[in-house]
Amino acid sequence: MNEGQTQEIIIEPRGKFSGFQFRELWNYRELLRFLVVRDIKVRYKQTVLGGLWAILQPFMNMVVFTIFFGHLAGIPSDNLPYPIFVYTALLPWQFFSGGIGSSGNSLVANSHLISKVYFPRIIIPAASLGAGFLDFFISFILLIVMMVYYGIYPGSGIIYFPLLMVLITVAAMGVGMILAALNVAYRDFRYVIPFLIQFWLFATPVIYPASIVPERWRWLINLNPMAGLITGIRSSLLNMPLFWTDILISGTISICLFVTGIFYFRKMERRFADII
């Protein structure tokens, strides 16, 4: 550049559908870690039981479901004790439902950050989801105790458990991004989210086995991404046959939800600071 000339830098917004900026997210990894730790501290701050709440919630749900659906309604459990049958599914379900619930409200809850400083906004719903991993691992301890008590041990299918959890995380992140963006634009979505989670629970084989669904309708229930994945997790942990067609359908839809969530979130992101 010659002496006396000035250099002009033009900053333009990225395209609506530019997707993830992985390098930018990596640069803000410390912020992600900070937000995850903050959410965990806030969740258990000034609580008497602390981390035991992570076990108490699925345990009490298991007790209620066992009494009303296992004993009174007589719902089958694939020849497994009903408590461990339902608890094994409750763990990934509560990770998923808690993740989409917290991430769906995360942008509005952190509006003071969004309106003051720049960072990849997608970090906020991701941090809300990341905090749920601690609850999942704490509550998983009780599942291990129950498996020992009932004498049920995983077989070779346990190697697929991490993959299934990754797919559930992908689905939760996708749905969470969509709900978070919608909640910024339409505040009444905060009332829709609890209803959606409740309806989704009964559309997922948590309290009942997928085997009670007629074979000709199995493809329909697997359009729910959590159906095949939760059944797969139950099978991988409790040494039951894995139904790969169900897992493939649900896994594919989970990935589609994730990609859709990215595109929609990126499309709405430029408006967050103005309308939040």
39 or 178: whose pLDDT is higher? 178
pLDDT, one tens digit per residue, over 65-89 is: 999 998 888 898 888 999 999 999 9
- Percent above pLDDT 70 for the chain: 87
In the predicted structure, residue 219 carries a pLDDT above the cut 50: yes
Q: Kindly report which listed range (11-25, 99-113, 183-197, 205-219) carries the lowest average pLDDT score.
A: 11-25
Amino acid at 272: F
* pLDDT at residue 80, as a whole number: 92
pLDDT band at residue 217 using 50, 70 and 90 as cut-offs:
confident
36 or 12: whose pLDDT is higher? 36
In the predicted structure, residue 12 carries a pLDDT above the cut 60: no
How many other β-carbons are positioned within 10 Å of the β-carbon of residue 108?
A: 17
29 torsion bin: left (phi>0), alpha (psi -120 to 50), beta (else): alpha
Cα separation, 66 vs 74, in Å, equals 9
In the predicted structure, residue 10 carries a pLDDT above the cut 50: no
Handedness of CA 89, 91, 92, 96 (dihedral sign): positive
Instruction: For residue 233, count CB atoms less than 10 angstroms from its CB and return exposed for 0-12, middle for 13-18, buried for 19 or more.
Output: buried
How many other β-carbons are positioned within 10 Å of the β-carbon of residue 109?
A: 15
- CA contacts within 13 A on the Cβ side of 137: 6
pLDDT, one tens digit per residue, over 92-114 is: 999 999 999 888 888 887 777 77
Alpha-carbon torsion, ordered 91, 94, 100, 102, to 10 deg: -120
Cα separation, 274 vs 180, in Å, equals 15
In the predicted structure, residue 269 carries a pLDDT above the cut 90: no
